[in-house]
Amino acid sequence: MLPDFRIHSPDRALEASLRRKIDQKAKPVGALGQLEALALQAGLVQQTLSPRLVAPHLLVFAADHGAARAGVSAYPQEVTWQMVENYLAGGAAINVFTRCAGLALQIVDAGVAHDFGPPSGRSGLIDAKIAPGTANFMEAPAMQRAELELALTRGAERARALAASGCNVLGFGEMGIGNTASAALLTHTLTGMPLEQCVGRGTGLDDAGLARKRALLAQAAARAGLLPGKADPFVALAEFGGFEIAMMTGAMLAGAEQGMLLLIDGFIVSAAALIACRHAPALRDYCVFGHRSAEPGHAALLEALSARPLLSLDLRLGEGTGAALAYPLLAAAVAFLNDMASFETASVSTA
């Protein structure tokens, strides 16, 4: 049975007061652009005129994909666990960016095809492994229903544990060789965008590799037989997803339920966000979209989510890097709302 989530849109009774507070700051109305929308969103989510960002965390969910063995990526599957080791050693881009932004970082083994040893011996690694990778979606559904439900549950447990510790901002990242293929199939299936327009180079495929990837994903879509644009989001997730995508979906749903602001990264994380929003549309109010990825399918996901990302830097690394880079903008939005003088307090004449 799917875990139960009770997500409600924030009460908008406070909106007029928040807008008035924003507009009375010592600046022309609207002069801080998207930062004003961010400040409004933070106040509505937290139901206060003085929102605070407390113990912000970024979770990187890692898992392997059976389809990686079919040749949908330029990199071998072993890179997934090797990159997890790099995260734990502190040497990856996401380590650098979270340190810069003041975000706590946790790495979650959702289903990596590797034995990392006893959890007690691996500081910073959370063992939530469902299985050592999904099945090959070229041949069968990527995961069974019971595996999907368990991944959603374990993701939800992680978000609820962080909320209980005081965290009210949760960012999302991922690692899994082959997961841009999953995200492309999910984008095609959930939005109806033609599959070839959803498929990008991922980890750096050349032209021949990209053509092969498109052909393989067309075969996978034909095998599943789902109607593009009409499929149930959890059926699509079971057919094409990875354990990291499913676990992120559960964490987003629980995070919104707990009233957390959700920092959404690029292509793969946005695929999880669309699944979560299709299941619980009110979740959209809690999402802050960090950046527009260079992966072509991301544009379709952002359009389906009516999302205006904060950054456009041609990133396509994943790991949560775009979410980490965007967090200081969220912090700036909250800071100006709380700390910037108004026309009255600064003794500045109004227009």
Predicted confidence at residue 349, as pLDDT, reads 76
The pTM score is 0.95
Residue 34 maps to a domain: no
Distance CA 169, CA 52 (A): 10
In this prediction, residues 26-54 reach a mean pLDDT of 97
Residue 245 maps to a domain: yes
Residue 43 maps to a domain: no
Q: What percent of the chain has pLDDT over 70?
A: 98
Residue with tokens 């070229």: 138
Name the band, by pLDDT with cuts 50, 70 and 90, for residue 330.
Answer: very high
Quickly count: other Cβ atoms within 10 Å of residue 182's Cβ.
Answer: 29
Write down the mean pLDDT value for the chain: 94
Predicted confidence at residue 18, as pLDDT, reads 98
pLDDT 10s digits, 112-157: 999 998 765 567 899 999 999 999 999 999 999 999 999 999 999 9
Query: Are 295 and 267 within 8 A, CB to CB?
Result: yes
The answer to whether 344 is a known catalytic residue is: no
Residue 104 maps to a domain: yes
Residue with tokens 């206060």: 48
List the domain range (segments joined by +) for residue 108: 57-336
- Burial degree of 269 (CB within 10 A; 0-12, 13-18, 19+): buried
- pLDDT of residue 186 exceeding 90, the answer is yes
Catalytic residue (one of 36, 244, 319, 344): 319
Would you state the structure tokens that stand for residue 82, as one six-digit string? 């090797």
Would you state the structure tokens that stand for residue 255, as one six-digit string? 């995070």
Residue 3 maps to a domain: no
Residue 294 maps to a domain: yes
User: What CATH number is attached to the domain comprising 281?
Assistant: 3.40.50.10210
Q: Count the domains in the chain.
A: 1
- The three-class DSSP label of residue 4 is coil
Residue 28 maps to a domain: no
Residue 272 maps to a domain: yes
In this prediction, residues 109-114 reach a mean pLDDT of 97
Helix residue spans in the chain (DSSP H): 15-23, 34-46, 78-89, 93-101, 145-164, 179-191, 195-198, 207-224, 233-240, 243-257, 267-279, 297-304, 321-339
